[in-house]
Amino acid sequence: MGLRTLIYLALALVIVWGFRTIYRDWRKKFADDDKKAEAKRKAQLEHNRREAKKPGVVELKRGDDGVYRPGDEE
C-alpha cells in the first residue's frame, strides 16, 4: 500500500468517527428532549385532572344533535 492510500484511509476513519460522534450526541439530545416533553405532558394531564375535580367545573355531554351541553346534575 502506498502512502496515498494510507492517508485516504486515515481521513476516511476520522470522518466516520466524527459522524458517529455527532450521531451519538444528537441521539442523546433528542432522547433528553423526549423525556422533558413527556414529563411536561404528564404534569399538564395531572393539572387538568385536579382542575376537573374543583367545584364549579361543568362537564359537557354531547347530545344527539352533536351539540355539547351541560350534563345532568347528580
Amino acid symbol at 23: Y
The pLDDT, as a whole number, for residue 73 is 57
C-alpha cell at 28: 442523546
- Please give the distance of CA 57 from its chain centroid, rounded to a whole number: 30
Rounded distance between C-alpha atoms, residue 33 and residue 14, angstroms: 29
Average pLDDT for consecutive 10-residue bins of the chain (74 residues)? 92 97 96 96 95 86 88 62
Domain ranges of the chain: 20-49
pTM here?
Answer: 0.53
C-alpha cell at 73: 346534575
Amino acid symbol at 40: K
